[in-house]
Structures are given as structure tokens and as C-alpha cells.
Amino acid sequence: MPDADQPTVVAAREGAAGTILMNRPRALNALDLPMIEAIGAALRDFRDDGAVKLVVLEGAGGRAFCAGGDVRRMRDLALAGDAAGIEAFFAGEYAVNRAIAELAKPWVSLIDGVCMGGGIGVSVHGSHRVVTEHALLAMPETAIALFPDVGTSFVLPRLPGAVGMWLALTGARLRGAEAVEAGLATHLVPRESLPALRAALPEGDAGAVARFAQPVPPGAVAAQRPAIDRCFGAGSLPAIRAALAAEGTEWAAAQLATLDRMSPTSLLVTHELLRRGAGMDLAGCLAMELALTRSVTRHPDFAEGVRAVVVDKDNAPRWAPAADVGAMFGG
């Protein structure tokens, strides 16, 4: 949390830039509903202000851009049976995700440190996703029995090959250059150059990003792409597991071990979500995700997953048997 007298979102006009600072550093800038509402209000102000040529989004504290949504709070609401509170959070968050995508001005996210879940949502739909070598991006929702949301059911199927399915099912974490390789980020700017880039952006020219960016040669993601595509493009979860077993490599064994730790229901939901999202537009994907939150947050795995990873941090969830995914999607 910020100091008691500091707002959790600080919005300002700096020259031709509208700036938004997520200011909850002790919580790694995790998004709660007041933050989401404040970001949405700032976005609307900057959208309608003709003097604002671009928007800059950043996170305070030096450790994280945004570690995600406040899932601890969502768990509390789920345990209390407060469906309206859960709905308000996700509906508000997804509305901001869509507004970023529809903004007719550059949206420049400066990602230095952790960027996961909801942090991906407030950056990936914008025009410029700048990462440093210290950035760490992931969609780790299957570990807490949620699913990749914030519009990533639209984004992930459109990444190269089967990279999106791999990221969605395993929650694989990408460093800055790897995130550019995978398509989640657009530019790599060294941390030492970030202050100079930040100082240039109020001039109103998003082209400054490219002037400070470094080229990203093929790296770890490219090296694993053939195996990622063979295995995670296999068409079903049993086929993915079989393909990984057939690879016989240390990498493949690690992926299988990761899948074995995830909620069985969440894996099925996530696979079906990306399959459907591949043929839908962003608005349709966000609507599908919002509908899905209503059933997924009621499933016992959600409260248990958040308990194991976020609350007790014992990383020993006791998952329920896989649920009927068709029913969770409404048939």
C-alpha cells in the first residue's frame, strides 16, 4: 500500500502526455476496484483531452509494474457468497481493458519488474508495451484455479504458433527480451535508459520508444518454439500431455510437472477458453470471460488455489476432481 496520505493511482498531465502511476508498491501495485475505477476515469479524461497526445502507464516502487488483480479480496468475496462484489470487480476491470484497446492514442506501458494477470490486462491492449531486462511477465492463473482473463483469451491465441497455449496452461514466466519474442511486449529498453525515455514522452511523440529500444535477437522462446508448437498445439489436454511425454527432454518433463501442479478444472477451462477465443473479437472474449468468472469463482478450487498460493503460501493445494467444463461455459 502507499503511505496513508497517498492515492493508489496518481494521474496527471505532463506536457502532451497523460500519465498514470499505479501507486500501491507494498502490494506490488495489485489492482483493487478503486484503482481500476481511477485508471478508467483517467483514461476517459485523457481520451477526451485534445492536448493529450499519448498516455503513459507505470508502477511505483521499483519492484513491480503490476502483480495482477487483488485475488485475495476476490477469494474473501467468494467465501462470503458476495457474487455482486465479484461481478463489480471483474466487470470494471474488463471495461478498462477494452477502453485501452479502443483508445485512439498511443498507450505506453513502462514495465520494469513484475507484470502478471491484471498487469498484463492494463498493458497488452495498448500500442506500446515497453519492458526492461528486469521485467517478468506471466499469466499464472491456472495455479490459483482461475483462467487467463483480462482479454488474454483474445491475445494469447494470436501469439506465434502455440506460444499462447503454452503460456496460458503453464503460467510460464518470461523475462523482458523473451516477452518481446513471444509478442506480449513490443520494445526492450534497458532499465538504465528508462528515465530518459520517460522524460522524452511528455513531448507527445510515442516514436521516442523506438529510439531508446534495443533489438531482440532470437533467444529462449525461439529455441523452444518447435517443441512448444508440437506439444501445445496438439489439440487437447490429453494430446498435449502425450506429446510432452513423447518429447523425452528435460524441458518437456518440466512442462508436465508444471501441468500436474495446476487445477485440473482450470486447465480444461483454459484450453477451451483459448480455443473459443481464437475465433472471437476482443469484446466477445471479454464478455465470455466475465460470464466464466461467475462459475469459476464459485468452484471450490478457486478459494483453495488462492489460499495455497497467496494466503497461506504453502503451495500445496488440494484440488477437486475436474468439473464439467461445458456447464461452466453455459453448455
Half-sphere exposure of 221 (CA within 13 A, CB side): 24
DSSP state of 292: H
Among residues 169, 186, 168, 166, which one has the least CA distance to residue 177? 186
Sorted by sequence, the CB contacts under 8 Å of residue 204 that are 6+ apart come out as 15, 16, 17, 53, 54
Among residues 156, 35, 57, which one has the least CA distance to residue 112? 57
- Would you please indicate which residues are annotated as catalytic (active-site) residues? 69, 118, 141, 149
Q: Which three cell numbers stand for residue 103?
A: 483508445
Among residues 102, 100, 170, 177, which one has the least CA distance to residue 135? 177
Strand, helix or coil for residue 111: strand
Four-CA torsion 202, 203, 204, 208, nearest 10 degrees: -100
Q: What is the DSSP track for 55-99? A: EEEEESSSSEEE--B-HHHHHHHHHTT-HHHHHHHHHHHHHHHHH
Q: What's the CA gap between 19 and 272, in Å, rounded?
A: 37
Q: What's the CA gap between 215 and 238, in Å, rounded?
A: 38
Strands 128-131 and 187-188: parallel
Strand, helix or coil for residue 162: coil
CB atoms within 10 A of CB 87: 15
